[in-house]
Amino acid sequence: MDLPSEANSFQADHATLLADSYRRLIGRDLIEPGPDLARRLFEAPFFLASHDTAADPVLTYGNRTALGLFEMDWAVFTRTPSRFTAEEPNRDERARLLEQVSRHGFIDDYSGVRISSSGRRFRIHRATVWNLVDAAGKRLGQAATFDDWEPLEPPA
């Protein structure tokens, strides 16, 4: 799964936003600082995704791991409302989590069930979810990262 060329300039700016917001709010680096941040985040072995601030937030970024877990390409992923990453019964819980992140800046111990575009379910463990805030303090969305997940059996 490669990133379309039209997303490359967005990727560089967004990678900086992801890393800078994470460092400011959480107090540590998302990934080791250095050159080629956008490529390294996209190819990282951990999940990394974000959504915008719309009333019904739409996914704005997913690294290769995120695209693979949700079984989507970049074009589909970045047009998907983020609520569709959770099954209908879990969407209220997800909304409460995102509201808590909005109020407190981040959480670093979220676990829950998500669902891919084909209906494959997986449980995530110890996810960090944080607000994306630019240097001027403007909130631009929220992001999530985790490196621990397990596939689940399909619902009966």
Task: Give the closest residue to 107 by CA, choosing from 25, 24, 23, 44.
Answer: 25
| Token output for 94 | 């997800």
Measure CA 14 to chain center: 12
Q: What is the dihedral of CA 94, 97, 98, 104, to 10 degrees?
A: 180
Q: Has this prediction a pTM greater than 0.75?
A: yes
Where are the domains positioned within the chain? 5-151
How far is it, in rounded angstroms, from Cα 102 to Cα 99?
5
Percent of the chain with pLDDT over 90: 69
Residue written as tokens 């693979």?
68
The domain 5-151 having CATH identifier 3.30.450.20: the answer here is yes
Task: Give the closest residue to 149 by CA, choosing from 107, 97, 111, 98.
Answer: 111
Q: What is the pLDDT of residues 90-126, one digit of tens each?
A: 677 777 777 888 888 898 988 889 999 999 999 999 9
Angle at alpha carbon of residue 95, lines to 49 and 155, rounded to 5°: 80
